[in-house]
A = this chain, B = another copy of it.
Amino acid sequence: MTFQRIAIIGLGLLGGSIGLAVRANLPGAVTTGYDHDPATRKRAATRGLADKVCDSAAEAVREADLVIFCVPPLAMAEAALAIAEALPPGALVSDVGSSKVAVAKALGEALPGHAIIPAHPVAGTENSGPDAGFAALFHNRWCIITPPADADLQLLTKLTQFWEALGANVEIMDAPHHDLVLAVTSHLPHLIAYTIVGTASDLEEVTQSEVIKYSAGGFRDFTRIAASDPTMWRDVFLSNKDAVLEMLQRFSEDLTALQRAIRVGDGDALFDHFTRTRAIRRSIIAEGQDDARPDFGRGDHGDG
């Protein structure tokens, strides 16, 4: 039997989705929720993101057997300090942060002596805030749990069952490897997307209205993830700095190689590279991690 009294600290996209997913999938479990923003608390109460939305984090965790921090990575320390006094000794502390080494360290320092098992559901959309969450967010998505070496195995099993109940597939990984994997599958793509959208906005020869108008040529795909929550992503890059800079260095080298191939007119090098990158999408679709329909299935496309 997994956790039954779940406190959710932070009621944005992730926290709100957890609350809705618990209600949909764990009958009998009770959720409490808190967000430092009063407007978010109010909206969360209206949408029923938690069974009870509390006016303080301490109140939210007082009877919890699981506390999940759903705040940006660099806000974890302060959020954890705010519950230190009220946290029941037997409760498990977890989170949903996108970088795990830094978050584990912050939680450990703020809550010494408590059981802490960080986790990261690899799921999300470009929307944020209390209106963004939905119960199905974790369906068929991976949740990576990064237990410390001395983690309590019973608590680890319960946390695994919790995420599986919400529809996720669970993978166990050590925190440094998580940070490297996510640097390439998530953090670098976001940084690149943020960059190119910025570059396109700053041109003098091409107006912003032209960029918007002709975005269906490819650009619009980048704008989705470049619309993600700025605070969250600032924190991700700062809290996973080394792995992000390492991946960025490799990306820059590869880009320079393709740039050179264009400059010298080496069509074979371009063709070979472009052929190789086709296969990986087929695998992503085969593994159920993306939609096989053209253009992600958006719009009115279809045969006919």
Residues of B within 8 A of A247 (CB): 199
Are A255 and B182 also in contact (CB < 8 A) when A217-B122, A262-B245, A280-B212 are?
Answer: no
Q: How far is it, in angstroms, between the C-alpha of A195 and the C-alpha of B219 when the chains are bound?
A: 15
Q: How far is it, in angstroms, between the C-alpha of A289 and the C-alpha of B195 when the chains are bound?
A: 20
Q: How far is it, in angstroms, between the C-alpha of A248 and the C-alpha of B211 when the chains are bound?
A: 16
Interface string of A77-110 (1 = CB under 8 A from B): 0000000000000000000001000000000000
Shortest A288–chain B CB gap in Å is 9
Q: How far is it, in angstroms, between the C-alpha of A230 and the C-alpha of B194 when the chains are bound?
A: 25
Binds B, one of A33-41, A135-143, A154-162: A135-143
Interface string of A205-238 (1 = CB under 8 A from B): 1101011111111111111111110110111011
Interface string of A109-126 (1 = CB under 8 A from B): 000000000000011111
Q: Which of A124, A202, A298 has the most CB of B within 10 A?
A: A298
Count of residues in A whose CB is under 8 Å from the partner chain? 118
Which one of B182, B196, B275, B295 lies within 8 Å of A296 (CB-CB)? Answer: B295
Q: How far is it, in angstroms, between the C-alpha of A127 and the C-alpha of B220 when the chains are bound?
A: 17
What are 21 A-to-B residue pairs whose CB atoms are below 8 Å? Answer: A126-B295, A127-B294, A132-B294, A136-B300, A141-B216, A177-B205, A180-B206, A185-B210, A188-B199, A194-B274, A195-B258, A215-B290, A224-B295, A227-B278, A230-B274, A230-B275, A234-B267, A235-B267, A291-B299, A296-B296, A296-B297
